[in-house]
Amino acid sequence: MPKIYPFKALRPTADKIGKVTAKSTDYTKKEDLIAEIRSNPISFHHVTKSHLSFSGAYQEPEKFLPFAAQFIVKLKEDGVLLKEEEDSIYVYEQKRLDGRVFKGLIALCSIDDYRQNKIKKHEEIRPSRLKFLVELFKTTKVMGEPTLLAYSGTVNFEKYNSTELYSFESVDGKKHSIYRISYKSDIKDLQKQMEKIENFYIADGHHRSASTEVFNDSVDSLTNDSSMCCILHEDQMEILPFHRIIKPVITLRKDDLINQLSRKFKIRRSSNAVYEVTEARNFGMYIQNEWYILQYKNDSDLLDIELLEEEIIRGIFNINDSRTDSQITFHAHTSGLDVLKGLVDSEAYSVAITTKPCDFSEVRKVADANNTLPPKSTYIEPKLRSGIIIQEFEVKS
């Protein structure tokens, strides 16, 4: 059974928490992210997005990551970041504008449990992202955003003594609260509860988990062999889709594309946007200012996201590795219909394909079979802000 461990977190002071923590995803415009970095000298984006402050290629982290490491040192020297005195486990709660509440634990999980598949994965990763995160950890020696893990079972962490550290509202209207559990007896009891859970499942953060494994394997003088995770019950999570937006190397005329698709799909034009797909084996397609519904004709044991990858991404557009091929990009559902349409209408991309989200039971089934889904198969809420709780990778003296 996977285990959890307390740790001495590095974290912002309560008066600086709102400015240090940073939105980790969903910037629809790069310019907005750059403006946020330039206007906020203590944003954690100076660590995670440090390449935006320097000219040069993203593929050359040696040019900018030393500045990210210096940023951490400076925030510690200036008293913006403080180090906990006691090993603790943290309770994280997020409340969205729509009233939905997510609540889970932030603790360390064993890299060895990840290696032994007690922490199960379901999604392929991109080599470029893996390489970048390994270099980030090597240089800064911090992890500022936990991997999101799901579990099924019953764990009651409301009964323990806890101290509220933060309660603040971020610019997107979400309310974030952090509580610290530090009594040794409470931590020991909580660990026993969690040991009854058969497996953890990576919900969000496959790249972070893989990169901490590679990082730990490459540095033999670390004081721990663990990775920071936020652990929630699977019923707490919300799964949304990533849609696909494609610019093929060889341009396909719309009529030719529809003709090819019609071999496997029933196709009909839709007067309404097909951004929300609710029926299995159905997909939306947006091309040249028109929406279409694609309904798969055949029987198949594949999940919808696998059908999309097999029959359309590979079968029609000849994109054999969507992790690395520049013809395809992934559009988070939360980024919105207008952004998706704009990318196609502007001819930055040629066609968009929308899909129904997976159910977590489907994700669990794939992980239990030691299989993986295509990259960006699930967009899972909650999204934690970077820099709320920070793990330091400490090196033995």
Residues 6+ apart with CB under 8 A from 384: 24, 92, 94, 145, 146, 148, 230
Burial class (CB in 10 A: 0-12, 13-18, 19+), 155: middle
Check residue 88 and give its pLDDT.
97
Check residue 250 and give its pLDDT.
77
**102 to each of 148, 172, 297, 319, how far by Cα in Å?**
12, 16, 38, 37
The band of 185, judged by pLDDT with boundaries at 50, 70 and 90, is: very high
Q: Which helix (H) or strand (E) holds 38?
A: helix 30-39
Record the tokens describing residue 201, joined without a space: 């499942």
Check residue 285 and give its pLDDT.
98
Check residue 30 and give its pLDDT.
66
Residues 6+ apart with CB under 8 A from 135: 61, 62, 65
What would you measure as the largest C-alpha separation in the chain, in angstroms? 68
Q: Which of 306, 313, 330 is nearest to 245 (CA)?
A: 330
170 has pLDDT over 80: yes
Q: Which amino acid is at 315?
A: G
242 has pLDDT over 60: yes
Average pLDDT over residues 148-168: 91
pTM greater than the 0.85 cutoff: yes
Check residue 59 and give its pLDDT.
58
Find the distance separating the first CA and the last CA of the chain, reported in whole Å.
32
388 has pLDDT over 60: yes
Angle at 70 between CA 60 and CA 36, to 5 degrees: 75
pLDDT in tens, 99-123: 999 999 999 999 999 999 999 998 8
Average pLDDT over residues 90-99: 95
Q: Which amino acid is at 387?
A: G
305 has pLDDT over 80: yes
CATH architecture, domain 4-239+383-392: Alpha-Beta Complex (3.90)
Check residue 271 and give its pLDDT.
96
Q: Which of 277, 207, 209 is nearest to 240 (CA)?
A: 277
Q: Is the peptide bond before 375 cis (omega within 30 degrees of 0)?
A: no
Check residue 101 and give its pLDDT.
95
- Phi then psi for residue 357, to 5 deg, are -70, 155
Q: Which of 91, 120, 90, 93 is nearest to 2 (CA)?
A: 120
36 has pLDDT over 90: no
Which of the residue ranges 205-219, 272-286, 382-396 has the most confident prediction, judged by mean pLDDT?
272-286
The band of 35, judged by pLDDT with boundaries at 50, 70 and 90, is: confident
**351 to each of 70, 130, 328, how far by Cα in Å?**
43, 28, 10
Average pLDDT over residues 29-39: 74
Between CA 374 and CA 381 the distance in angstroms is 19
Locate the domains of the chain by residue range.
4-239+383-392, 242-356
Angle at 361 between CA 189 and CA 273, to 5 degrees: 130
Record the tokens describing residue 237, joined without a space: 């999570």
Burial class (CB in 10 A: 0-12, 13-18, 19+), 69: middle
Q: Indicate the SS3 state at residue 91.
A: strand
Look at the block and give the residue holding tokens 């403080």.
82
The band of 58, judged by pLDDT with boundaries at 50, 70 and 90, is: low
Instruction: Decide which of 3.30.1760, 1.10.10, 1.10.12, 3.10.20 is the CATH code for 242-356.
Output: 3.30.1760
Q: Are 51 and 58 in contact (CB under 8 A)?
A: yes
Q: Are 292 and 269 in contact (CB under 8 A)?
A: yes
**Half-sphere exposure in the Cβ direction for 280 (13 Å, CA):** 10
pLDDT in tens, 347-384: 999 999 999 998 888 889 999 999 889 888 989 999 89
Average pLDDT over residues 253-274: 96
Paired sense of beta strands 200-204 and 119-120, if any: parallel
